[in-house]
């Protein structure tokens, strides 16, 4: 029996400054684990995929016959250094617009069309994270770039149309809202408490223990006390880093290993390539001092049970507060029971 069965409470989300309401008492149907799920036939190479080696992209360029990681500027970018010049027209200053300046890139993890980060061997996942670090170091030297956001949308459940293993990079001349919020919250917390909020979160999670999913000498993964999605996971380097740039090779390896273990647990728990939205949360690269900020990976998987997606409705979309149907402790316990040494999908 779950120790949190029947829980009905609200918890404060310190980074978003909002209440999350939990109503696990509504989940009366027991779940004994996921049955094997049928999967679509996959191919090592898809001749119609614009990300596979040797194939043509939308602009007519041919991809090279790449063997591991392939990075290129997006052919249909959201932002670009050649974006049209926009003239401000609202004299009141209430309605603002500006040029969508920046750089948009695509990072292909592997030449195989049917690969995922969880299916890849750890050494190759480390290479992916090392490429993220190299991209960050290059963007830091570009005066036109103020902030860099790496994100992976994995799986049809989050709207992905192309399953080829890849993520995107938006390097922009402005900082994304959630980063701005976390930086402000961290500074206010430090001023008030003389402590770092991220360090306190990590320390508290380690003290409680029940929500930790994976851990090694360099990194830690947990479903936080204030998680909104059922399997929402934060992964932190244990040392204080505001971005990937300052991490050592050993720390990148450790972070990659904890991430790898986490996503494999998710795959095995549902017997499927588990979908998620992953963001790499990092401080801006605008020359400012962001010592209070701690870089971390943020995974938001949409499923709460096999075949059951958490859809946002009135309270979330209309009211701005999240209503969760499961307890973080239960979901973390579920994932900790998985023995990743038995992972059956590695290619």
- Domain membership of residue 12 (yes or no) is no
**108 marked as part of a ligand binding site:** no
Query: Within 13 A of 24's CA, how many CA atoms are on the CB side?
Result: 21
Closest by CA position to 212, among listed 340, 300, 329, 324: 329
Q: Are 177 and 183 within 8 A, CB to CB? A: no
Q: Copy the structure tokens of residue 16.
A: 């978003």
- Domain membership of residue 159 (yes or no) is yes
**341 marked as part of a ligand binding site:** no
- Domain membership of residue 22 (yes or no) is no
Residues in CB range of 169: below 8 A, 6 or more apart: 103, 104, 105, 106, 107, 135, 148, 149, 150
Residues of the domain holding 287: 42-85+96-342
- Domain membership of residue 19 (yes or no) is no
To which residue do tokens 């904890």 refer?
258
- Domain membership of residue 194 (yes or no) is yes
List, for residues 159-184, the tens digit of each pLDDT value.
898 999 999 999 999 999 999 999 99
Q: Are 49 and 162 within 8 A, CB to CB? A: yes
As a whole number of angstroms, the distance between CA 318 and CA 216 comes to 40
- Domain membership of residue 178 (yes or no) is yes
User: Which pLDDT value is given to residue 2?
Assistant: 55
- Residue 107's DSSP bridge partners are 71, 167
**Three-state secondary structure call for residue 132:** helix
Query: Within 13 A of 7's CA, how many CA atoms are on the CB side?
Result: 20
As a whole number of angstroms, the distance between CA 242 and CA 215 comes to 20
List, for residues 98-153, the tens digit of each pLDDT value.
899 999 999 999 999 999 999 999 999 999 999 999 999 999 999 999 999 999 99
- pTM value is 0.93
- Domain membership of residue 10 (yes or no) is no
**113 marked as part of a ligand binding site:** yes
Q: Count structural domains, the chain.
A: 1
**91 marked as part of a ligand binding site:** no
Q: Copy the structure tokens of residue 181.
A: 């919020």
Q: Are 277 and 151 within 8 A, CB to CB? A: yes
Please list the active-site residues: 166
* Domain harbouring 162, CATH code: 3.30.428.10
How many C-beta neighbours within 10 Å does residue 86 have?
A: 12
- Domain membership of residue 282 (yes or no) is yes
User: Which pLDDT value is given to residue 283?
Assistant: 98
Percentage above 90 pLDDT, the chain: 76
Residues in CB range of 42: below 8 A, 6 or more apart: 113, 114, 163
List, for residues 276-302, the tens digit of each pLDDT value.
999 999 999 999 999 999 999 999 999
């Amino acid at each position: 029996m779950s120790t949190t069965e029947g829980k009905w409470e609200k918890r404060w989300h310190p980074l978003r400054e909002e209440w999350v309401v939990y109503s696990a008492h509504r989940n009366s149907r027991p779940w004994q684990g996921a049955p094997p799920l049928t999967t679509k036939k996959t191919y090592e190479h898809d001749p119609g995929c614009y990300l596979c080696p040797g194939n043509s992209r939308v602009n007519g360029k041919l991809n090279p016959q790449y063997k591991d990681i392939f990075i290129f500027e997006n052919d249909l970018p959201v932002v670009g250094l050649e974006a049209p010049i926009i003239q401000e027209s609202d004299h009141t200053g209430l309605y603002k617009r500006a040029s969508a300046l920046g750089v948009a890139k695509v990072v292909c993890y592997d030449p195989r069309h049917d690969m995922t980060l969880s299916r890849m061997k750890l050494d190759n996942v480390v290479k992916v994270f090392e490429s993220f670090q190299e991209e960050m170091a290059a963007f830091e030297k570009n005066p036109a770039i103020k902030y860099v956001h790496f994100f992976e949308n994995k799986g049809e459940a989050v709207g992905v149309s192309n399953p080829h293993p890849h993520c995107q990079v938006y390097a922009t001349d402005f900082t994304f809202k959630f980063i701005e919020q976390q930086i402000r919250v961290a500074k206010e917390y430090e001023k008030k408490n003389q402590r770092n909020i991220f360090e306190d979160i990590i320390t508290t999670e380690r003290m409680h223990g029940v929500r930790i999913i994976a851990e090694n000498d360099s990194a830690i993964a947990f479903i936080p006390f204030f998680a909104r999605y059922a399997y929402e996971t934060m992964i932190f380097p244990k040392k204080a880093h505001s971005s990937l740039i300052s991490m050592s090779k050993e720390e990148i390896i450790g972070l990659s290993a904890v991430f790898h273990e986490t996503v494999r647990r998710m795959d095995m728990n549902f017997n499927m390539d588990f979908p998620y939205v992953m963001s790499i949360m990092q401080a801006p690269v605008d020359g400012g001092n962001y010592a209070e900020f701690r870089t971390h990976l943020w995974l938001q998987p949409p499923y709460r049970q096999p075949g059951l997606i958490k859809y946002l409705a009135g309270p979330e979309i209309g009211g701005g507060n999240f209503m969760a149907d499961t307890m973080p402790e239960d979901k973390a316990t579920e994932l900790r029971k998985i023995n990743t040494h038995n992972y059956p999908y590695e290619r």
